Amino acid sequence: MKIVKSKILIDKGGFSSLPSWQRIRSDVLQAIASIQWPPGSGAFVLYDELGKRRGEGNGVKPIKDACMLYLREQGWLLEYDLGLPGIGKVDAVYLVDGKQFALEWETGNISSSHRSLNKMALAMLKGTLIGGVLILPSRIMYRYLTDRIGNFEEITPYFPLWEALGTFVNIGILWVIAIEQDAVSKSVPRIEKGRDGRALM
């Protein structure tokens, strides 16, 4: 799997110069790179079918689960409750000097993408998070996944809103990553919705 776009929306307080950020960044990039389909192929090739109708296209959750399994092996905590009213859980966190860096992997629609960025930005404003990253498909990739999943291009017009919030943040990073398949092919199996994420590593 490859990264096709990467956007830092907030970078405040010198966190990006610390070794802990370098560790976080490396874990996130390696988690994405570790996802393969078919298993053991060394690449990420989606079944060539658009996901417009029920039962068509490729499942999303198993791709996320593969990322989460990798992060857990690196010491990240999964399904972590930030303890802030109305914000709830994030997919994963890495602990940094009494604070958390959050990771959200998009499996819902564009409204879910907004919620993910909003909850991380709000937690940064409150001083709970030292930062967060949202990983979501490119518009090219999302066509082969469950219909109407959020994608990078669809959320891009709202980036100035989160960038403006950086004025009120003392320290931390808010990061958005667009991922994409290496190729599509009719010769690979479809990623089923119920498949174990470990099969994609």
Give the CB-side neighbour count of residue 74, counting CA atoms within 13 A.
Answer: 21
In a 3-state reduction of DSSP, which class is residue 150?
A: coil
Share of the chain residues as helix, strand and coil, in percent rounded to the nearest 5 = 35, 30, 35
Instruction: For residues 17 and 7, give the distance between their C-alpha atoms in angstroms, rounded to a whole number.
Output: 17
Going by C-alpha positions, the residue among 13, 149, 18, 150 that lies closest to residue 94 is 18
pLDDT surpasses 80 at 23: yes
pLDDT surpasses 50 at 91: yes
Q: Which of 104, 106, 154, 180 is catalytic?
A: 106
Range 47-58 average pLDDT: 84
Q: Is 49 a catalytic residue?
A: no
In a 3-state reduction of DSSP, which class is residue 37?
A: strand
CATH code reported for the domain at 2-200 = 3.40.91.20
pLDDT in tens, 157-180: 999 999 999 999 999 999 999 999
pLDDT surpasses 60 at 199: no
Q: List the domain boundaries for the chain.
A: 2-200
If pLDDT is split at 50, 70 and 90, which confidence band does 53 have? confident
Q: What is the pTM of this model?
A: 0.93
* pLDDT (0 to 100) of residue 174: 98
Instruction: For residues 2 and 144, give the distance between their C-alpha atoms in angstroms, rounded to a whole number.
Output: 15
Question: Could you check whether the bond before residue 38 is cis, i.e. omega within 30 degrees of 0?
Answer: yes
